[in-house]
Amino acid sequence: MSLKKELTDEIIKVTSKAAISCYKFIGKNDKISADKAATDTMRNEINKLKINGEVVIGEGELDEAPMLYIGEKLGLGGDLDIDIAVDPVEGTNFVAKNWPGALSVISIAEKGNLFNAPETYMDKLAVSNKVPFDATDLDFPLEKNIKNIADSLNKDITDITVCLLNRPRHKEITDKLRKMKVNMKLISDGDVSGALMVTNEKYNVDIFLGIGGGPEGVLAASAIDAYECKFQGRFIFDNEKDIFRAKKMGIKDLKKKYDLTEIIKGDSIFCATGITSGDLVKGINVQKDKYITETLVTHKSSKMCKIFTREDIIKT
């Protein structure tokens, strides 16, 4: 069964409204208020949909998050059972500092088709659909992945661009890339948008890799799926609390490498609305009595991957 294409309009409204609700906090150095405003609005908008929704990736567990917590039931009810993954503000620091690239993000799939990712780190790899599937792998040495990508794209290694989070934990990777004279696009936050850079040549990114949030990995995979790109992820459980939580969630093999088809199954809808302008979409634009937003939307079954513009009247 496929999700109706008409549902995309309703999901666009969810992320657009959430983005607009934290507009007033852009540049105010108050990321907590921005995130709360987007979370409250996103929850209210989802609750207007005729779905039986359950949050599988949210703001945390019930004892950590009063709203959009993992396991929360949302929607007006009906015959559509839906898994929901949300990140009301990806890049809260971007909003607080008025830096580019803040997004409001949601992904939905039919019940049981969206991986319930634990709140832990994930080692990730995302590659364009122009690279053969077997050319890259999380278990390959970095040098092999880069060389295979260069060979498959008929490029010199020095023309390959790698996107990764600018973190001390990636020093070994960045040192190797510099030694190989590979181009790097280092991002401070926002690894959902980072992974999406492999989906289009205009972003000039050949591979996204490194360690980031597990929930963000699932969100990225659900978007990349519609582009038929490759994604792999392996969760990192390095303390007893994370191991206990993983086992409680039914994860038996703690070292398992997940391919995209194990993270997201069946049909899905992904929406990312710009709060501040970035590589993927423009930020919120205010014109007289209107908020104008841009949303990157993917709908797997209809092979839709496009940017939608929405206008909302400013209420006084």
E-assigned strand segments in the chain = 52-57, 73-74, 81-90, 103-110, 121-127, 161-165, 183-187, 207-213, 230-236, 258-259, 268-274, 285-287, 290-299, 304-313
Reply yes or no on whether the pLDDT at 118 is more than 90. Answer: no
**Confidence band (pLDDT; 50, 70, 90) for 228?**
very high
Query: Of 57, 93, 123, which Cα lies nearest the Cα of 190?
Result: 93
pTM of the full predicted structure?
A: 0.94
How many Cα atoms sit within 13 Å of 7 on the Cβ side? 23
| 38-47 pLDDT tens trace | 999 999 999 9
Q: What percent of the chain has pLDDT over 70?
A: 99
The mean pLDDT of the chain is 93
Domains and CATH numbers, the chain: 7-112+267-313 (3.30.540.10), 121-263 (3.40.190.90)
pLDDT at 60: 78
Reply yes or no on whether the pLDDT at 63 is more than 70. Answer: no
Distance CA(62)–CA(171), nearest Å, equals: 35
Q: What percent of the chain has pLDDT over 90?
A: 82
Average pLDDT rounded to a whole number, residues 243-259? 87
**Confidence band (pLDDT; 50, 70, 90) for 62?**
low
Angle between the N-to-C axes of helices 171-180 and 142-153, in degrees from 0 to 180, rounded to the nearest 10 = 40
pLDDT at 251: 85
Q: How is residue 201 written in tokens?
A: 């040549």
pLDDT at 44: 97
Average pLDDT rounded to a whole number, residues 161-182? 96
Distance CA(53)–CA(58), nearest Å, equals: 12
Q: How is residue 225 written in tokens?
A: 């799926």
pLDDT at 182: 97
Average pLDDT rounded to a whole number, residues 247-259? 88
Average pLDDT rounded to a whole number, residues 163-177? 96
Pick 64 or 207 by higher pLDDT.
207
**Confidence band (pLDDT; 50, 70, 90) for 1?**
low
Q: How is residue 271 written in tokens?
A: 């929406």
**Confidence band (pLDDT; 50, 70, 90) for 74?**
very high
Q: What angle do CA 183, 223, 56 make, to 5 degrees?
A: 120
